[in-house]
Structure formats: structure tokens, C-alpha cells
Structure 1
């Protein structure tokens, strides 16, 4: 590295020309007064050099400045530590601006802190955008909760009435003297009613989860028995379609498990039902295995996987899987039916249980849904 000219560059001029605010404070003085500011600092704050030199920077503070931020800055400077923060400051005309503050201590050859050099940036526009985004997010959340509340009330009424209609249809269908064509029409009506009832139940579950009204049980249950029972529920439909159902349970899993078997069943029922819908041949496998990591409270992480050999999901549709009222393709919805709420409910339930759910798929080669859920093995 070549030596600088003996005279050296004019550092004061260079710093003065920077399009960033620069300040230098005397760290040896208890009042920590400003001993240098560049021109851009004066432009940023609206003060003159004579008004600021010899004063502590607290003159930039005002009613909206957070006292916690000021206290944090003072504590770090008292220990000669760097400061990186954002603070609401005020110009000479009283107008506020958000100041991104970067302060570094400068030490002499004996290790004493003699100066604080600060760089300041006006980040008001960015902070306004952040506040607008946060306000929009809060507003969207309130609207979403209101919508879910409405959906819940609407579907509660619909479910009550559908139960009445389906009950009457069951009574009529018990009449063995019904003509075949009338029975066929009634069974079609009952099938449609069952579909509407399932949609109402799904919507109620989703509304309950979104509004925090869905509660979890913590009871002891036998994991293998629950998984076997879930597969039995789908065995008739699988046999009808010629799809093989398989169960694989890791040998290191404790069979005595504590948690909410009802919500676990609800998640896996949805996933298997979804797999059955899109699998015309081959197999559907439900597996459970222990993951190596445990939760901070010592719970066992179990990965439940529902893997099918169905039609798969196009890559461009993977990000739509867990959105309410969405299916991967309109033609699939028409062909296979469904409310489009099942996977969203699974995501809500798994999240409620402290886990996560994700999918892997390749079009034409099947899909695997993984739900990592913590369960306790001790009462």
C-alpha cells in the first residue's frame, strides 16, 4: 500500500461533502457535546452549525421520541459500546423524521474512549411504508376474523337444518316399499345433503380455529390403535376403488401417547380422504416416525405422512394448497368435489397442536403430506 502524500487529504472537506449525516461527539465530556457536524446534518435537521456545536444531541428529541430508545442509547454510550437503532427525531421547525442512528466509539492509544462518531440516515419514508403495511395487516386480520365469525354462524344454522333434512330422508328411506326410481332420487338427495353437511362442518372448524375457540384435549391414547382405526374408516372406499391402504409405524415410537387423538384423527382423516379423492389406482400409505429433535419442553416430535400414488400436484399450484376454498385446478374440483377447506383446516389444527404441515409432490407421480406434531410420552 503506497504512503499518502505528506499533506494528506482534506478529511474535513471530504466528510463535509458526504450525502450522509455525520456527527462527532466529545466522549470525554460528561455532557457529550457535539464538536463537529457536516453540512448534510444541518440540511437534515434544519439547524445552523452555531446552534448545535457544543450541545448534546438530545435537542433532536421530542414528545414522540420513545424513552426506552433514549435510555438504551445512553446505557450503551456509557459503556462505550456501538449503537445501532432507529429513533424519532425532530427538525428545527418541529417536523418529525425517523433517524437511523449508527454510533461508534473511538479510542486513543491508551484505550480511552475519546470520541463518538455518528452516521445518521433519514428513513422516514421506509418507516411510513412499514407502518402502512402493519396497519393493513391488522385491518386484514380483523376482517378475516369477522368473516370467519360470519361463516361460523351461517354454517351453524345450515348444519342444524341439514341435520333435520337428513334425518327425515333417513326415515323415508327406511320404507322398503319405495319404488326404485324414487329411492334413487332420495339417495341422491341424501348424498348431496351429506356433502353440504361436511362443508358446513369444515367451515365451522375453520372458523373456530381462526377465532381461537378450538381447544385441545390432553389425554392418554394408544397411537397404533388410533392410526389403525383411521385406516379402517377408509377401508370400504379404498376397496371400492381398488386402492391399497398401508400402515407403517416406526419401531421407536411409544404406543402410550398423551395429546388430543380427536384432532390428530381429524387431520389424518382429511389427508387420507384427500389422497383417496385423487388416487384412482395404486396405494395410500399412512406412516408415523419419531424425529430426532424434541421440543423445548421435551415432547416427542412425530412425523405423520400420508403418501399416495395419485395424479400429483403441478409445481405452480403447490403454494395454493393451504389456502381456503382453493383446489389445485378447477377441473379437479369439478371432477372430484370437495369444499376446498380440508387442507386449510389441517394447517390450522396442526398449528394449534404446535406443529407444521407441508407437502411434496410431482405431477403424475403422487403426493406426500407431512405433519410434524409434538406429543408427550409422559402423563
Structure 2
């Protein structure tokens, strides 16, 4: 029987229109029917339901071209030869039911060509009756709709990611503000809890939990492609070698890590830090797939298969691949299909965000993710990136904004709408030796600036209630003090992405941040190497 699924397939039961000399007499129009089938450009198959197992009686050249079979390889065989390991059994059952009831059926089905290549087949099967209403043949028309199915699948995935991204983005700012207040106050409490082991231990555990909460939010934003990337020209071989010590440590004692690096690999343009985290996620998955030990290989290569490049599609100019292969238990087709879905996991415990985050990062980097796996045959994950164009090389870094000359202790205009977060940031800055002007809104900040006469740096949240966000405030402040250093902070980077042209002269500090991270960001924004007096108290 044929295999099918709504609206697609090349495996199908076909009609039997008897030719002269085949069984009971055929109307004179029978030969005309076969001639018409042979001449049509649409792949066609005719089967004979009067023979055991409803074998193929006729195929046209279009069918042979589509499937890669020779005519002698298909005649006399059932259409199920087109079925394979991932052909949907429910679709096959739907076709068989239609055949048993002698009625037409239209399905999409995953079939396989002669060389084993899977393709989506839009299949229509219809019965052919003689003038007395007796079934004489099954006829099926087919069409390779693989590209359409891939486009539809990509659209569904994009819509799913957009929905989760919107949900995450709506929560990220407020959630990271809460985490900033929690982690900041815990850090302050830890300073005063010195010498009290019970308090120190409790604060440390709470701080770790707050840090994990921040990482979880970042994973969600990464999956949803909402994080801000800092792409640079990167050689994947160099990145892997420099990161190999961390990868080896992540493997533990039972799993061996090998490198297989392609010599002379062209560069690509990616965020190296996020790529390292993506690679670490995949390597940890490989380790977990081999609980009894084994070998994992991290390698690089160049995409040379034009079909793979066309299938994704990727920008012209060639592609490089960073891949991880393991000897683990592998995935079933269902698990592999859902592997990049958020919150889908086979681990206990597990968040189900590891490969989702990797997929989001690779997509945002204009690349593609491939996963090959089968039960007991291991898994290979490939991150494919376009080769860097020559014009991407040698891009000069943005000039450091000028710093206002004045006393050694700088004055910072702090703008933060959350009172809890503002108090933490104010305490951090003052403990670092800076003078602070604190405001809860952009409008209040401009009033303070008017009375102060000038500041050395603007440190502002990006998303604030009211009519002025942090980017708009920075523009207004720089109208008064051209070249003023600006440090932005946010728990949600999406708004920054839409303002990319303004960002080269503005540093960004993600929430939640620690005191030492704030200190380093302030020094970098001010263009100063030494710390102000009293910084590390």
C-alpha cells in the first residue's frame, strides 16, 4: 500500500485502469488514459488492485525523475517501497482506510527516494471505475513539496519563538530588577555578615539562587533571540583551542574529549562569548548522553555540499561548521524533532533550554543548527555560520568618548525608576568612591543636571515609565554635555537592538550585576585605568 499524510506523498495506492489484454476487458479509452498519464509532467503512478498487494502497474518519467528509481525497480512492487523510518504511521493508516472504502484521499507524506533522501510528497489518490462502477485501477498524482514544508516548519518555529520571546521580554525587565535588588542587598548583607558562619552560608546560598535566576532569564532571552550580541571576526579553531581546558573540565573523568580541527579554516563573524556558552551546552549534552563513559569530538569543517547550503538557506560566500559528535545513546526521531523546543527535556532535572538557547543564538548569528542522531548511534550537532566577508575585517573600534577633566572623584548621574534597585546602585557607587546624583526618571535627571552644572558619567536604566527612556535621556544629556560617557543598564536588550546605531559610544551593563562588575564598567566607560579613592572598601 501507499504511505501518506494529508496532502503529500509519493507512496500511494494507485488506480487500476486495465489495458487491453489485462483481465476483464477495458474500455477503449484505457489506452488513452495511460498515454495521458505518460505524457503529463506531474509524477503519476497507476496500481492494479486485482493483483496481490496492489502492485504498481505503470509509472511515468516524471515519477522516476522525482524518486530516482528505474522503472524496472518499481513495476510489480507496492508503493510502500517509498516509505521509511519516519513515515507517519497514521498517514499510512489513513490511506489504507481510503483504499478499503474505494474513495479518494489527499495527504502529505514523508517518503524516501531511491538513494534514501527523505522528501515530502503531496499525494492525491483516486479510484478508477469502469462503466459498470467496478474498481479497475488506482491512480495517484504526486508532487515534491519539501521546500514548502520546510518553509512552513520554519514559520511555525519562528512564531513559537516570537510568542515565547514576547512573554519573556515582558517579564525580563521587571524580573531582573527584582533579582538586582535581591542580589545587590545580599551582597551588602554579606559584607556585614563577616564572621557569622551561619549568616554567611545562608547569604551565599541565596546569592547562588539569585544568580541562577538571572541565568535562567538570560537563557530565555537567548532562546527568543532577544539578547544583545557583540559579533566579532572569529576563527573557530582558535576559539575551540582557547576554550578546550573548560570543555575538558566539563567532561568529568569518564568521557574523553578529542579535537578534529580543519586546517586553514576561514573566519566567521559571531559573538565569541555566546558561542563558547553554546558550545559548552552542546558538550555537556554529549557528556550526559554517555553516563557510562565514551568519547566526544569537537571539530570544525567547511560546508562543501551545495544541497545543504541551499536547504538552509545561507548567505553566499561559503560556510564554516563547529560540530560536536558523541557516542551516546542517541535520540529517537520524535526527540530529535523536538530537541530545540523550549522546556522540552529528557533529563531529570532539566530546564529544556540548552539546545533551545543554542538554536536561538545560531539563528541570531545568521547561521543554522543541524542535529543528526539515531538510537544507539550517537548524536552530531552542527552550528553552521557564514564565512566572514573581507569587508568585515579590520573594522576600527569606536573611539572612546572624552572624559570631563576635574577632581579625582567623578560625579555620576544615576537614573533608575525602581527605588530598591536605585538604592543598591547608589550604595555601590558611593562605596566605590564616586559622588552620586540619583533620579527616578529622565525628567528628574534633567532637573538635577541643570542645577549640578555637569557630571562625569550618566548611568541610566534603559526602560523606564513615563515619556522618556534611557536612550532618549542620554541624547538629551549629550545635547548639554557633548561626548559625555554613558553607561546603560537593562535586564532586557530588545530595545537596544532597535537603537543599534546609537550604541557604539554607550556601554551596556546587564542586570542583575554585581558590585565588581559595576566598578569595571564604570572605569571602562570613564576611560580610566586606576580606581577612584576608596573603591575596594
TM-score (normalizing by structure 1): 0.51
CA distance in 2, matches of 1:140, 1:224: 31
CA distance in 1, matches of 2:28, 2:265: 72
CA distance in 1, matches of 2:258, 2:281: 16
Are positions 1:367 and 2:379 aligned together?
Answer: yes
* Deviation for aligned residue 1:274: 3.1
CA distance in 2, matches of 1:309, 1:139: 31
Q: 1:292 aligns with which of 298, 304, 307?
A: 304
How far does the alpha carbon of each residue in 1:265-296 deviate from its partner, in whole angstroms, 9 at most, with x for none?
34323322433444443343221111225768
Q: Does structure 2 conserve the Cα–Cα contact (< 8 Å) formed by 1:252 and 1:290? A: no
Q: Helix, strand or coil: the match of 2:303?
A: strand
Are positions 1:305 and 2:311 aligned together?
Answer: no
Q: Helix, strand or coil: the match of 1:292?
A: coil
* Deviation for aligned residue 1:177: 2.5
CA distance in 2, matches of 1:361, 1:353: 24
Deviates more, 1:300-309 or 1:354-363: 354-363
Q: 1:190 aligns to what?
A: 207
Distance 1:253 1:161, change over 3 A: same
Question: Residues 91-130 of structure 1 correspond to what in structure 2 (within 5 A)?
Answer: none
Q: 2:243 aligns with which of 220, 224, 230?
A: 230
* Deviation for aligned residue 1:151: 1.7
Q: Helix, strand or coil: the match of 2:344?
A: coil
Are positions 1:166 and 2:179 aligned together?
Answer: no
CA distance in 1, matches of 2:372, 2:161: 28
Q: 2:166 aligns to what?
A: 149
Q: Does structure 2 conserve the Cα–Cα contact (< 8 Å) formed by 1:300 and 1:377? A: no
CA distance in 2, matches of 1:166, 1:320: 35
Give the total of aligned pairs: 239
Q: Does structure 2 conserve the Cα–Cα contact (< 8 Å) formed by 1:159 and 1:201? A: no
Q: Does structure 1 conserve the Cα–Cα contact (< 8 Å) formed by 2:325 and 2:380? A: yes
Distance 1:170 1:257, change over 3 A: same
CA distance in 2, matches of 1:165, 1:203: 20
CA distance in 1, matches of 2:203, 2:230: 39
Question: Residues 1-379 of structure 1 correspond to what in structure 2 (within 5 A)?
Answer: 145-170=162-187, 172=189, 177-179=195-197, 183-207=200-224, 209=225, 219-239=232-252, 241-254=253-266, 256-280=267-291, 281-293=293-305, 298-328=316-346, 332-334=347-349, 337=350, 339-363=351-375, 366-376=378-388, 378-379=390-391
CA distance in 2, matches of 1:144, 1:289: 29
* Deviation for aligned residue 1:229: 3.3
CA distance in 2, matches of 1:139, 1:227: 33
Distance 1:284 1:184, change over 3 A: farther
Distance 1:141 1:352, change over 3 A: closer
Distance 1:178 1:304, change over 3 A: same
How far does the alpha carbon of each residue in 1:128-162 deviate from its partner, in whole angstroms, 9 at most, with x for none?
xxxxxxxxx99997786455323212123222322
Q: Does structure 1 conserve the Cα–Cα contact (< 8 Å) formed by 2:237 and 2:262? A: no
CA distance in 2, matches of 1:311, 1:184: 39
How far does the alpha carbon of each residue in 1:182-207 deviate from its partner, in whole angstroms, 9 at most, with x for none?
55544443333333222111112233
CA distance in 1, matches of 2:261, 2:156: 44
Structure 1 stretches lacking a partner, 5+ long:
3-8, 12-136
How far does the alpha carbon of each residue in 1:227-267 deviate from its partner, in whole angstroms, 9 at most, with x for none?
2333334444334x55433322111413x544443453343
Query: By percentage of residues, which structure has more strand?
Result: 1
Distance 1:194 1:357, change over 3 A: same
CA distance in 1, matches of 2:390, 2:194: 53
Q: Does structure 1 conserve the Cα–Cα contact (< 8 Å) formed by 2:268 and 2:386? A: no
Distance 1:171 1:271, change over 3 A: farther
Distance 1:353 1:166, change over 3 A: same
Q: Does structure 2 conserve the Cα–Cα contact (< 8 Å) formed by 1:156 and 1:204? A: no
Q: Helix, strand or coil: the match of 2:352?
A: coil
TM-score (normalizing by structure 2): 0.37
CA distance in 2, matches of 1:308, 1:186: 39
